[in-house]
């Protein structure tokens, strides 16, 4: 558990996430602003890399925080505010998928149309971003990272979510199980399949890495 969110007492002002959320529930909107500043980037990055679309990520991000604001009176300290926040995100994404499914013709099959479009758009964005960069300054790890971001969209959604909750959300596997409603063994399997899938998709890029960047 090396990258867990600072859910208790680690902020410079000393207030834990739970304390800030309780203060917000009692009407202190300044407490919300501090919580928002702490968690906005990890959450947005998670949503962006999950959806592959900045517009979709903006919409989902907005909805997650609106739901948080609406449910502030019902907030119960759970020990991990961040896990609670990502649970809201998980539910918002599930609702969004249901809406998208209603709008999708049965002839489109099971393919998540937006994900597929998102993968293509994301890859285009990566190409243009690569083109803008300074080739000398680009590290192998940086190149690999950009390929990973694109390859993530080709993973099954449940695997992608677990990978991102771990690596971007900074949640430990137990909290990921709570967020996704899956048991711990399933979470571990999904993470393993995600890593194996990425490895398969990125075999050429991984083979090109110098020995030293593997560790």
191 belongs to the binding site for other proteins (CB under 8 A): yes
Question: How far apart are alpha carbons 151 and 119 in whole angstroms?
Answer: 8
Query: Is 23 one of the binding residues for other proteins (CB under 8 A)?
Result: no
If the CB atoms of residues 10 and 192 are measured against other proteins, the closer one turns out to be 192
Alpha-carbon distances, residue 2 vs 155, 160, 171 (angstroms): 25, 20, 9
Considering only residues 54, 97, 116, 154, which one is a binding residue for other proteins as defined by CB under 8 A? 54
What is the C-alpha to C-alpha distance for residues 98 and 93, in angstroms, rounded to an integer? 9
**Nearest-10 Cα torsion for 188, 52, 83, 41:** 130
Binding status of residue 3 toward other proteins by CB under 8 A: yes
Q: Does 40 bind other proteins (CB under 8 A)?
A: yes
Residue 189: count other Cβ atoms within 10 Å of its Cβ.
15
Applying CB under 8 A, does 208 fall inside the site for other proteins?
no
**What is the smallest separation between the CB atom of 116 and other proteins, expressed in angstroms?**
18
H/E element holding 33?
helix 29-51
CB of 91 to other proteins, least distance (A): 14
**Residue closer to other proteins (CB basis): 18 or 194:** 194
Helix, strand or coil, per DSSP, at residue 24: helix
Question: Which position has the token pair 């304390």?
Answer: 19
Return contacts of 112-116, CB within 8 angstroms, 24+ apart. 112/157, 114/51, 114/53, 114/56, 115/51, 115/52, 115/153, 115/157
52 is a site residue for other proteins (CB under 8 A):
no
Name the segment binding other proteins (CB under 8 A); options: 15-23, 115-123, 125-133, 138-146. Answer: 138-146
In the complex, the residues that contact other proteins under the rule CB under 8 A are 1, 3, 24, 29, 32-33, 36, 40-42, 44-45, 48, 54, 57-59, 61-63, 65-66, 69-70, 99, 102-103, 141-142, 144-145, 148-149, 167, 173, 188, 191-192, 195-196, 198-199, 202, 206, 209, 213-215
């Amino acid at each position: 558990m090396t990258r867990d969110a600072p859910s208790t007492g680690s902020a410079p002002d000393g207030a834990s996430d739970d304390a800030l959320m309780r203060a917000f529930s009692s009407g202190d909107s300044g407490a919300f602003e501090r919580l928002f500043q702490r968690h906005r980037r990890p959450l947005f990055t998670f949503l962006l890399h999950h959806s592959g679309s900045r517009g979709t990520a903006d919409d989902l991000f907005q909805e997650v925080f609106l739901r948080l604001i609406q449910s502030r009176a019902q907030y119960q300290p759970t020990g991990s505010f961040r896990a609670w926040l990502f649970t809201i995100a998980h539910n918002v994404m599930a609702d969004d998928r249901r809406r998208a499914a209603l709008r999708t013709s049965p002839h489109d099959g099971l393919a998540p149309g937006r994900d597929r479009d998102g993968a293509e758009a994301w890859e285009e964005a990566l190409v243009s971003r690569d083109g803008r960069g300074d080739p000398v300054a680009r590290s192998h790890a940086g190149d690999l990272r950009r390929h990973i971001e694109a390859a993530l969209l080709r993973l099954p959604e449940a695997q992608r979510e677990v990978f991102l909750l771990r690596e971007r959300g900074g949640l430990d596997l137990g909290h990921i199980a709570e967020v996704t409603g899956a048991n711990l063994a399933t979470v571990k399997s999904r993470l393993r399949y995600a890593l194996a899938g990425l490895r398969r998709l990125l075999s050429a890029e991984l083979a090109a890495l110098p020995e030293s960047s593997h560790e």
